[in-house]
Amino acid sequence: MSGQNQSKSTMTKADIVENVYEKIGFSKKEASEYVELVFDSLKEVLEKGEKVKISGFGNFIVREKKSRIGRNPQTGDQITISPRRVLTFRPSQVLKAILNGEDLTGIVEDDD
């Protein structure tokens, strides 16, 4: 995030577009189109159930969850939770180290 956005607690797509615009020099329209293209590409791959690995950042993984029995917390009644696909994110060792203010020396990215 740029200095002016640090007081915000959430980075939005508009903030990403603004950063691309400021740092690379594309027009705002071009920056927006490129950011949309990246997100569309990620969505297409994830929709197919494939993993997205961004070196130095992390992995986005689609998991299949089976149908299971759960309980309605208000009534205690049993309900069947339908099968679904869920998206998980596993941060890289590099990102974990950065978040924890650790030294990056000697950290090597996995290939998984």
What mean pLDDT is predicted for residues 9-27? 93
User: Do residues 67 and 34 share a domain?
Assistant: no
User: Do residues 57 and 103 share a domain?
Assistant: yes
User: Do residues 28 and 81 share a domain?
Assistant: no
Judging by DSSP bridges, how do beta strands 58-65 and 52-54 pair with one another? antiparallel
Whether 1 and 15 have beta carbons less than 8 Å apart is answered as: yes
User: Do residues 69 and 104 share a domain?
Assistant: yes
User: Do residues 64 and 29 share a domain?
Assistant: no
**What is the rounded average pLDDT for all residues in the chain?**
89
Alpha carbon of residue 73 to chain centroid: 29
User: Do residues 63 and 102 share a domain?
Assistant: yes
- 37-59, pLDDT tens digit by residue? 999 999 999 999 999 999 999 99
Tokens for 35, please give them: 């950011």
Judging by DSSP bridges, how do beta strands 84-91 and 78-81 pair with one another? unpaired
Indicate the number of domains in the chain: 2
User: Do residues 105 and 54 share a domain?
Assistant: yes
- 78-88, pLDDT tens digit by residue? 999 999 999 99
The pLDDT assigned to 107 comes to 73
Residue that wins the pLDDT comparison between 107 and 21: 21
Provide the domain limits for residue 35.
1-48
Cα distance between residue 97 and residue 99, in whole Å:
5
Alpha carbon of residue 22 to chain centroid: 22
Check pLDDT > 50 for residue 5.
no
Alpha carbon of residue 49 to chain centroid: 15
